[in-house]
Amino acid sequence: MTGAAPSTARNPLRAPLGAPLGAPLRAQLRTQRGAFLLDVSLELPGQGVSALFGPSGCGKTTVLRALAGLYRAAGQVALGDEVWQDDTRGLWTPTHQRALGYVIQEAALFPHLSVSANLQYGLRRAAAAPQRAVLQHALDEVIELLGIGALLARRPTTLSGGERQRVAIARALATRPQLLLMDEPLAALDARRKAELLPYLARLQRSLCIPIVYVSHSLDEVVQLADHLVLMEAGKVLASGPLAQTLARVDLALALGEQAGVVLQAVVAERDAGWHLLRLDVAGVVLPLWVRDGGQAIGQAVRLRVLARDVSLATAPQPDSSIGNQWAGTLEAVADDGHASSVLVRVCVGAQGPAGSDSGSGSGSGVAVLARLTRRSCQHLGLQVGQVVWVQVKTVALLD
Amino acid sequence: MTAADWTAVILTAQLAGTSTLVLLLIGTPMAWWLARTRSPLKPLAAAVVTLPLVLPPTVVGFYLLLLMGPQGPVGVATEALGLGRLPFTFGGLVVASVLCSLPFVVQPLLQAFEAIPEQTLEAAATLRAGPLDRFFSVVLPLARPGLLTATVLGFAHTVGEFGVVLMIGGNIEGSTRVLSVALYDHVEAADFAAAHRLAAGMVVFAVVVVAAMYAVNRRPRETDTEARA
């Protein structure tokens, strides 16, 4: 039985670039529980990882459960042309007829079944016998991708937390879902297991061509995995957009607090073996950024994170500074920060020619960097929107 | 043992077997409902199921007798349906035994069902298993120890029932004279040797069954291949 899902011939794994995108996810959900009101409207891309990010209790998990049909909120849920819920037309598809995969913090493997039987559980229900071979082939690839081939005969109770989570992910993918929902899949793991599982998730994100909705309260995970960011607070969506653009918005700094900062795409351009440094070229523009050599290959694409608190500004180049990474840029915006003493400043760097004074960030004419300054410094330097400033980047975190 | 004693043994086995089957068939959905419901009726339903545990069996028997008698609503109904009257028949005994043994079957099942995390069932739902499929492929295998305990307790309690049997069934050989009643007859007649044969037999039976139950339940039962419903 293929359930309510239209059976598509394409394999969701290893999709070549330019393959048809997965279906975009649209949802409007509203529910009231005591004093808590959840009221969200989502439109998520049909490919890549969309992160639902926000503090505990902001309603991210409720949204995910409502998308899966495990919780009934009022509203609509549709994946592409397939309507899973539409209260105005009285439509409701129960969870087991939605072509989705769902992974939660606790893995929730079936303790009475072996790893292999856990993986087969969904596969057998998702496809009639003649089509199982296709799914089995896809599952074999997932098993290899997640490195769980050696665990197949084991019992779930004998697995480590990280192994269990990998099996749960493979089990969810075995049904060849059109949508993968993940609710804090790393939250129950200690730092070491987390570090062990993250590369698998990153690999997964690159090889699946279905949308993944990833719930997390850890911005570290989000910036590492997500392509699209939905920022939630107290049952509302504060912002929704491409990760890099959304993080570069100065008006969201309040919600992100200490974690405010931008994510940049870069390519490893040069290795200085003598000083154990790598030169990265950021976002296509030649912005040299020297970072600690982590063994990355020349030409490798990396994602890096620059926190606002690690960026300082100067009105002239600082040849005497210990900070080697200095870029000229145009000051684009100044906004209030969480504390009265500080402001958040957005600077567009690497632009060829004069940058638009208040254009969107990273739109081909350079990339945006956020800096956290004291209000006093801001005034002392006489910083004005449109002014040319030098950005000094003290620390960056390489994410892959 | 006399032929009459053997008749009582066979009758008892028939009664306990039939009752256990009926108990599992009605007790399982009842326990499942109790384990998952958020209905305000839950405490009341749980109390009704537990009631036979605290009431003297003779009280249960007395009211059953009135209900199933010619003037009782159940009696009128059974006669209208052409089933005749239930008191002092094997059928009446089954009804009474099921009622008295219900808590012994529902309680272990309820505990087993409540121990199954909601997340495991939700995982099954996201893996395309419908409600009935989830029940047979996840709930029943995970509740296996509880199911075994319920079966053994239900059977053993029915074998040992005396008060309600005497009220509803009376003492008719081959129809309602079960082991416990036959044993009572032997003691009344001061035939202690015959009483010993029945009583000791029941003790041995009880020890073997309960020990076997614990032995089986202690071993983690897991299956490699999942049985399709």
A30, pLDDT greater than 90: yes
- pLDDT given at position A290: 83
Nearest chain A residue to B131 by CA distance is A96
Q: What is the mean pLDDT of residues B16-34?
A: 95
Q: What is the mean pLDDT of residues B44-54?
A: 89
- pLDDT given at position B224: 44
In CATH, the architecture of B3-218 is: Orthogonal Bundle (1.10)
Q: What is the mean pLDDT of residues B152-172?
A: 88
User: Which residues 1-40 of A have a C-beta within 8 angstroms of B?
Assistant: 1, 3
A356, pLDDT greater than 60: no
Instruction: Check if A94 contacts B (Cβ < 8 Å).
Output: yes
Instruction: Check if B138 contacts A (Cβ < 8 Å).
Output: yes
Residue B220 confidence class, pLDDT cut points 50, 70, 90: low
CA pseudo-torsion sign A86, A87, A93, A98: positive
- pLDDT given at position B219: 63
Residue A162 confidence class, pLDDT cut points 50, 70, 90: confident
Q: What is the pTM of this model?
A: 0.81
Kindly list the structural domains of chain A, giving each domain's residue range(s) and its CATH number in brackets, ordered by start. 25-247 (3.40.50.300), 261-398 (2.40.50.100)
Residue A288 confidence class, pLDDT cut points 50, 70, 90: confident
Residue extents of the structural domains in chain B: 3-218
pLDDT digits (tens, 9 = 90+) for A71-121: 999 999 999 889 999 999 999 999 999 999 999 988 899 999 999 999 999
Question: With contacts defined as CB-CB under 8 Å, which chain B residues touch A168?
Answer: 123
DSSP chain B: --HHHHHHHHHHHHHHHHHHHHHHHHHHHHHHHHHH---TTHHHHHHHHHHHHHS-HHHHHHHHHHHHSTTSHHHHHHHHTT----TTSHHHHHHHHHHHHHHHHHHHHHHHHHTS-HHHHHHHHHTT--HHHHIIIIIHHHTHHHHHHHHHHHHHHHHH--HHHHHHT-S-TTTT--HHHHHHHHHHTT-HHHHHHHHHHHHHHHHHHHHHHHHHHHS----SSPPP-
Q: What is the mean pLDDT of residues A33-61?
A: 90
Cβ of B142 within 8 Å of Cβ of A106? The answer is no
Q: What is the mean pLDDT of residues A313-334?
A: 84
Instruction: Check if A100 contacts B (Cβ < 8 Å).
Output: yes
Nearest beta carbon to residue B126 from set A68, A120, A155: A68
Instruction: Check if B142 contacts A (Cβ < 8 Å).
Output: yes
Going from the C-alpha of A326 to that of each of A315, A354, A386, the distances in angstroms are: 11, 18, 18
Q: Is the interface score ipTM higher than 0.95?
A: no
B196: Cβ–Cβ under 8 A, 6 or more apart, which residues?
none
- 3-class state of residue A87 by DSSP: coil
Mutate to test the interface with B, among A72, A121, A154, A175 (most CBs of B within 10 A): A121
A250, pLDDT greater than 80: no
Name the range with the highest mean pLDDT among A329-338, B5-14, B212-221. Answer: B5-14
- Cα three-residue angle B69-B71-B73, rounded to 5 degrees: 85
Cβ of B122 within 8 Å of Cβ of A110? The answer is no
Question: With contacts defined as CB-CB under 8 Å, which chain A residues touch B129?
Answer: 96, 121, 125
Instruction: Check if A105 contacts B (Cβ < 8 Å).
Output: no
User: Does residue A238 or residue A5 have the better pLDDT?
Assistant: A238
* Share above pLDDT 70 across residues of chain B, in percent, rounded to a whole number: 95
How far is Cα B70 from Cα B79, in angstroms, rounded to an integer? 8
Cβ of A121 within 8 Å of Cβ of B224? The answer is no
Cβ of B133 within 8 Å of Cβ of A125? The answer is yes
- For the purposes of burial, counting CB atoms within 10 Å of the CB of B61, is it exposed (0-12), middle (13-18) or buried (19 or more)? buried
Instruction: Check if B73 contacts A (Cβ < 8 Å).
Output: no
Cβ of A122 within 8 Å of Cβ of B127? The answer is yes
Residue A11 confidence class, pLDDT cut points 50, 70, 90: very low
- pLDDT given at position A3: 39
Mutate to test the interface with A, among B121, B128, B140 (most CBs of A within 10 A): B128
User: Which residues 155-194 of A have a C-beta within 8 angstroms of B?
Assistant: 155, 168, 171-172, 175
A124, pLDDT greater than 80: yes
DSSP A45-86: -SSSEEEEE-STTSSHHHHHHHHHTSS--EEEEEETTEEEEE
User: Which residues 106-125 of B have a C-beta within 8 angstroms of A?
Assistant: 117, 119-120, 122-125
Cβ of B126 within 8 Å of Cβ of A70? The answer is yes
User: Does residue A317 or residue B17 have the better pLDDT?
Assistant: B17
Question: With contacts defined as CB-CB under 8 Å, which chain A residues touch B125?
Answer: 69-70, 94-96
User: Does residue A362 or residue A118 have the better pLDDT?
Assistant: A118
Nearest beta carbon to residue A96 from set B125, B141, B226: B125
**Mean pLDDT score of chain A:** 83
B212: Cβ–Cβ under 8 A, 6 or more apart, which residues?
none
Cβ of B128 within 8 Å of Cβ of A172? The answer is no
Instruction: Check if A117 contacts B (Cβ < 8 Å).
Output: yes
